Structure 1
Amino acid sequence: MDARFLDGRSARVRSATVEIVDQSLTIAVDGTTHVWPLAGLSVVRQGGEARLSHRTDRDARLVMAVDDWTRLSGAQGTVVERRGRGREVRLVMGLTAFAVSVAAFVFVGVPALSGPMARATPVSFEQRMGQNFDGQMGAIFPECAGEEGQAILAALGDRIAAQADTPFDVRVRAVQAPMLNAFALPGGPILITDDLIRDAKSPDELAAVVAHEVAHIEKRHVMQAVWRSLGVGLLLDAVVGGGTGAGQQAVILAGQATDLRYGRDAESEADARGQQLLHDLGLSSRGMASFFWRLGGEQEEGDQALTSATEFLSTHPDSTRRAKAARAAERTGAPALTAQEWATVQATCETGSDNPIDSLKRRFGLGGDDAAPDQGQQMRMHGQTGRRP
């Protein structure tokens, strides 16, 4: 029978003559004879062709018409055809096992390792990372211009951080950002957005938010979230090859630091520790429960729910549950700020500050005085504020 032979070492296709002799397939090609025992033969029928290979010469292929192969094999009695799918099946099974392993590592291994890695991270390393993150945030979210209010807010952060067991220099400041949020960065910086300051109903609510973020820093939750996110990025880099890059992933993390999320246990721990820090100072911790009640859409003591907490609720576990836990543990105490200090803090971002969109426009020479309303204004007009302290 005539066939085409490919040796697997070159692209050349050569004419061959084949026959079955003594339970072996003999292939005569250019004066050379290849002998493939039928016991190791694999046959794949595709369309009108039969593609044959052998386990002793896996790269070589013999191609012939299906009808010719049927006559040849039938003339010698029944030849057991081993469908040449073993390699593909093994490949699929291997890829499936690899995918399961990757998923297990990402969703189980990385979170489990992130805690020990965060605690083992040198303080100096986290501080340097925090400086980079802070620089990224400063380029996007400018500081509010009210110097006196900033000083009062920083002093409140210092008082609360003094009760915490942390080597980091905690620095609290107010920033212009089109979201209701507060977030801690690695190494100590804490950013409070103008929307959160505006929507807080009392200095005790603001103090509860600050204490909560200080607790995240003390417990190394921030670095834990970084390692979890960075670990996934490094894993993806290993899987897909160059292009994402660990360095690029670190930059992405810096640019998206507000999206470093904590688990339910970390949030609960920060709530409880934040209240304890306030108690140690002799301050009231009742602001935490009232803040969470309103985040959960509940009305308490005549308060209206926050403008909109959609983003906050999407990144935080069950605010109503947290409010109930905070209410059970709260204590009365001194107010966090005097009435005059509170009024000054509330005015920190009201005048003389650039909103982040206009700041970026001016930085890159875009737009003018008649530009459209900034994103923060648009979000507030449509009630689209809210994120996570």
Structure 2
Amino acid sequence: MARSTRWPSPRRLGRGQRSAKACSTCSTPESCEPAMTAPMTARFYDGLHPVAHIVTVKATPAELAATMPDGRVVVRWPTAEIEVVSDAEHEPHALLVCARQPGTRLAIEDEALRQSLAELGGNLARATGRRPRIAPALGGVAAALAITVGVMAFAAEKLPNVVAPFVPYVWQRSLGDSVVTAMTSDMRKCTRPEGQQALQALIDRLQDASSYRRRIDVSVVQNPIVNAFAVPGGRLIVFSGLIDKASGPAEVAGVIAHEVGHVVHHHSMKGLLRAYGFDMVLKLVTGGYSSDVATLGGAGGVLLALRHSRDAEREADQTALELMDKVGMRADGLSTFFGKLLEMQNKQAPGDKGKAPGNGSTKPRDAAEEAGILSTHPPTRERLEATKRPATGAPALSAQEWQALRAICR
């Protein structure tokens, strides 16, 4: 738990001072406002590492602050700018984000804290799943409404799966290009020809073995995060951190094959349709709105919409293994990559190695498992076991191609 600290009266800080420090990281909590909610714990994700940090959360009508056990304030968000991006009514958590700290998020499961946040009003009203009781006389109406909403929810969940493969390719490509521009405009593009050719040749082999009949293009951007993702229209974005941290071409090929699996099953298009609805996406790609992704709430909102369900991740894993088997490629890299993620997760501060937050367990930590239902990805250990394959088959890249890919950003 965070150390006990006496927070000063808000009269010591002017409005201009609070605004200037909004969403900043403080060295000490003495500059923050007094809490209106009782201090409770939540999980903080910094957007750079697959690690959940236990923090103490306090909130006022003006801002929310999250404090690490060592006293550092890692979050100070204006209450009016906080968004609840999870379905708190049906999920046992509230997932909070702030546009001023892209990539970071707070996961709050404590119902008392969620209720306290909801009472602050505004966007935070969605932080709790509690709803007022309906009078017995309205029971029949409520039941009919519940059935109607259930049918609509079922349609909203299932229709994208049916419709997404039939969205015209030119529309998907236009939307995908807008997403890529919004999410990577401030990153340097890595374009050394030899590395680009080696990576594209790998993707072409996997695409030829799949049922996806369009060309799948790839771009590499300089970013230390270990990541890659697919967007509508058959486009893959690979962060240089993935290439730098991979122990060999088999791991890169495993992740790339997984992303090709998302393309084959149109998972990204399904996610955008499910998140924003048919009308919004249709207007965006046909000119009814500006083609800027800002129409959909900015790159951060789109990235959240591109999160895949647990079933979609499993489907992409299975498709990746099938494609690598079809082309006779070594297929053990996907499981070894998951093992590397676990290893990264288990690197903790001295004295805490091997322990999950707060329970003293020596079981290796797992970012997805810690988040439980909050995470849309199956726990990494589960995926590691499901994707284990022998180290047999042809190399994904030759030694020369691998060196060229490693140098693609130089």
TM-score (norm: length of structure 1): 0.54
Answer yes or no: is the 8 Å Cα contact 1:141–1:175 preserved in 2: yes
* Aligned mates of 1:341, 1:132 — CA distance in 2: 30
* 2:48 match: none
Letter in 1 for 2:186: I
Residue 205 of structure 2: which of 159, 167, 174 is its match?
159
Q: Matches of 2:298 and 2:279 in 1, distance apart?
A: 9
Rg larger in structure: 1
| Residue among 384, 387, 391 paired with 1:323 | 384
The runs of 5 or more residues in structure 1 that have no matched partner are 1-87, 236-243, 300-304, 352-389
Partner of 1:369: none
Residues 130-180 of structure 1: per-residue CA shift (max 9 Å, x gap) = 222233234133312433222221221122212111132201221123522
Task: Tell whether 2:383 aligns with 1:338.
Answer: no
Other-structure match for 1:203? 249
Aligned in 2, Cα 1:279/1:250: closer, same or farther, shift over 3 Å? farther
SS at match of 2:229: strand
SS at 1:317 equivalent: coil
Residue type at the aligned position of 1:163: A
Distance 1:254 1:298, change over 3 A: closer
Instruction: Say which structure, 1 or 2, has more relative contact order (CA 8 Å, 6+ apart).
Output: 1
Structure 1 residue identity aligned to 2:380? S
Matched letter for residue 218 of structure 2: V
Q: Deviations over 1:327-378 (max 9, x none)?
A: 1x556201111222212212223x3xxxxxxxxxxxxxxxxxxxxxxxxxxx
Partner Cα distance (2:213, 2:152) in 1: 30
Aligned match for 2:297, one of 248, 252, 259: 252
Q: Percent identity?
A: 32
Contact 2:182 2:293 in 1 (8 A): no
Query: TM-score normalized by structure 2?
Result: 0.52
Partners of 1:326 and 1:234 in 2: CA distance: 37
CA-CA distance at 1:252 after TM superposition: 2.9
**Is 1:214 aligned to residue 260 of structure 2?**
yes
- Change in 2 beyond 3 A, CA 1:310/1:99: farther
Work out the CA distance in 2 between the residues paired with 1:175 and 1:117: 31
Question: Bigger shift: 205-214 or 164-173?
Answer: 164-173
Given the alignment of the two structures, is residue 286 of structure 1 paired with residue 332 of structure 2, yes or no?
A: yes
Q: Secondary structure at the match of 1:184?
A: strand
Once the 2 structures are TM-superposed, how far is the Cα of residue 203 of structure 1 from its aligned partner?
Answer: 0.3
Deviation at 1:255, TM superposition (A): 5.4
> What residue identity is the alignment partner of 1:137?
M
Question: Does the Cα contact within 8 Å between 2:366 and 2:379 map onto a contact in 1?
Answer: no
The residue that corresponds to 1:110 in the other structure is 156
Q: Do the aligned partners of 2:178 and 2:293 also contact (CA within 8 Å) in 1?
A: no
Q: Map of 1:47-196 to 2, 5 A cutoff?
A: 104=150, 108-196=154-242
Say if 1:119 and 1:220, in contact at 8 Å, map to a contact too.
yes
Range with bigger deviation, 259-268 or 248-257:
248-257
**More off after superposition, 163-172 vs 250-259:** 250-259
Residue 276 (str. 1) matches residue 339 (str. 2): no
d(CA) in 2 for partners of 1:205 and 1:247?
34
The alpha carbon displacement at 1:120 in A equals: 2.7
Mapped partners of 1:140, 1:211: distance in 2: 26
1:295 is aligned to 341
Change (3 A) 1:127 1:294: same
Shift of residue 212, structure 1, vs aligned partner: 0.8
Aligned mates of 1:101, 1:254 — CA distance in 2: 35
What CA distance in whole angstroms lies between the structure 1 residues aligned with 2:395 and 2:344?
A: 23
Q: Is the 8 Å Cα contact of residues 133 and 255 (structure 1) preserved in structure 2?
A: no
For 1:140, the aligned partner's letter is D
User: 1:343–1:185: structure 2 CA closer, same or farther, 3 Å change rule?
Assistant: same
Q: Which residue of 2 aligns with 1:381?
A: none
C-alpha displacement of 1:103: 6.8
Measured in 2, the distance between the counterparts of 1:205 and 1:120 equals 32
1:140 is paired with a residue whose SS is coil
Question: Structure 1 residues 117, 194: closer, same or farther in 2, change over 3 A?
Answer: same
> Are 1:110 and 1:232, in contact at CA under 8 Å, matched by a contact in 2?
no
Q: Which residue of 2 aligns with 1:347?
A: 407
Change in 2 beyond 3 A, CA 1:333/1:229: same
Q: CA deviation at 1:324?
A: 0.8
Secondary structure in 1 aligned to 2:185?
helix
- Alpha carbons of 1:274 and 1:198: their partners in 2 closer, same or farther (altered >3 Å)? same
- How many residues end up aligned between the 2 structures? 247
Contact 1:160–1:281, Cα closer than 8 Å, also in 2: yes
